[in-house]
Structures are given as C-alpha cells and as structure tokens.
Amino acid sequence: MNEQVGMPIIVCKDLVKNFESQAETLHVLKSVDLELAPGCSCSIMGSSGSGKSTLLSILGGLEHFDSGEVTVGNYALHKLAEKALPQFRSKVVGFVFQFHYLLKDFTAIENVALPAYMMGVPRKEAWAKAENLLEKVGMSDRMDHFPSELSGGERQRTAIARALINDPSVVLADEPTGNLDTANAMAVEELIYGLPSLSGATIVLATHDSALAEAADRRFMLFNGKLSAT
C-alpha cells in the first residue's frame, strides 16, 4: 500500500446524492467521506445499484450532487461553475468505462489522440503522444485498426490509453473488466494497476470483481449509501 503523503488528490466530505422520482426519493450516497493520496489505487465494491458508478461520475464531474464537498486535484467541484466542468474533465480526470465507448469511425490511434487534439494540442503532437501510449498498452501493431477490427481486450486497452492522453491526475475506471473474458480481464487488470507507474495517476476503480478489487492499495465497500474501508 502506498503511503498517503502530502495533499490528498481526492477529498469527499459528507457527500450526499439523491435521485428523485415521482414515487420516491432514492438516497444513493449518504454522507460519503473519502480521501485519496496522489498515485494510489483504490477499489470500490458494492452490489448493482449501490451507487458506485454515481460516485465515480461525481468525482469525474459528470454528475451533480446534492450536498457535501468534493475536491479533485485543485478543483473544488462543489464550487465549480458548469462552464468550467469540461476543462476539469479534460485536464484532471480520465475515464475508463465498462464498455470501451470507442468512436467506431475512428482508428485506435485517432480515438486516443482526439481528446488531446480537441484540447488544442497540435495534430502531430497529439498523434505522437497517442502512439506512445498505445505502445505502452501493447497496441503498437493495432493502432490503425478500427474498433470493429479489435478484440474486446484490445478495445479496452485503447480506452485506457485514451483515458491517459491528457495526463490526468485521476483515472476513474467503472467496471473496466466487466465486459471481458478472463484472459482479457487479467491483462486489463495488470494494465490498470500499472497505471500509477505508467502515468503517476491515482486510480479509482468500481468493480464487482473481488480479485480486481483486492489488488488495489485501498479497498472500500459501498453499502446502503455509505462508504467503508475493507
């Protein structure tokens, strides 16, 4: 386990998130507290619908929350204006979803380079960086293939490279092996836990897979809207 030294990269204090429906109010997150140091890996387990994805979405600035304080990097999300969220998402966090969500009309290298290119990185530079990352995730000979030409594991590796293209300080992975067979899941697991050494990013992983969760520096269980260390 890594030592938590210096300022934490993620801080959640008394985080509350409810979902309102016509019939009832669903209390998904009830006073969640979390502090993570830079470069560590953390897994969150919990049953389906326990709020794991919601917590990751809040940390990634994709979801609003009802109360509490959330700080990721230098961004205090509870104070952050809506307009500043895209910049936060592009600069601070990288997402890896259960399904790869690669753009089907773009090659692997284009999929990886696009987030940087969209942020104004010159095309050549963005492509060179994408090439470097794809090499690191073992995709050097599949760069010019489209998602439909890649296996499930290859797509997820491409998605991981895409998450790292803007040098995020936090990588949020939501069930990254949930859609893969055992062999591919193991390869992706190795890659994900190698990310801190690969890019220095902090990993927050939501998973049902206990083996994947066990390998994290810090492990949490989300149950009944509360987060507890295991």
Partner 1 sequence: MKFGSSFFIAARTLLGRHTKPKADILKRASSAIPRREKALSSSSGGMAGAILGIGISLVPLVLVLIVSDGMIQGITRRYMETKTYHIQVALPDGLSDTESQKGIKAIQSLPGVKAAFLERNGTGVAVSASSSNAVMLRAIDPSFFSNPGTKEFLSVVAGNSIPAGNRDIVIGSSLATALKVKLGDSLTLITPNPEKMASDTVSADFSGYSPRLSFFKVVGIVSAGYRDLDALWAFINPEMGTRLLTYPSSAAFFGVKVTNPYANNLGAVKESIIGQLSSLYPDWFDPYLARTWPEIERSLYKSFGTTKSMLLFIMGIALIIAAVNLGSALSTFVAEHSMEIAVLRSVGATDAALKLIFVGAGLITGSIGTFLGLSLGLFISWNVNYLITGIEWLVTIFNTAIAFAGGYPSVPLKLLDPAYYLEKIPISIDFAQIALIAALSIALSAVASLIPASKASRISVQELIRKI
Query: By rule CB under 8 A, what count of residues binds partner 1?
Result: 43
Figure out which of the listed residues 119, 128, 186, 221 binds partner 1, where binding follows CB under 8 A. 119
Residue 73 or 115 having the CB closest to partner 1: 115
User: Could you say whether residue 16 binds partner 1 (CB under 8 A)?
Assistant: no
User: Using the rule CB under 8 A, which residue among 45, 46, 110, 160 binds partner 1?
Assistant: 110
2 binds partner 1 (CB under 8 A): no
- Residue from 89, 157, 218, 219 touching partner 1 (CB under 8 A): that is 89
Among the residue ranges 10-18, 35-43, 87-95, 210-218, the one whose residues contact partner 1 (CB under 8 A): 87-95
Three-state SS for the chain is CCCCCCCCCEEEEEEEEEEECCCCEEEEEEEEEEEECCCCEEEEECCCCCCHHHHHHHHCCCCCCCEEEEEECCEECCCCCHHHHHHHHHHCEEEECCCCCCCCCCCHHHHHHHHHHHCCCCHHHHHHHHHHHHHHCCCCCCCCCCHHHCCHHHHHHHHHHHHHCCCCCEEEEECCCCCCCHHHHHHHHHHHHCHHHHHCCEEEEEECCHHHHHCCCEEEEEECCEEEEC
Candidate list 151, 210, 224, 230; residue touching partner 1; CB under 8 A: 151
Contacts to partner 1 by CB under 8 A: 53, 57, 60, 62-63, 83, 86-87, 89-91, 94-95, 97-99, 101-106, 110, 114-115, 117-120, 123, 144-152, 162, 166, 174, 179
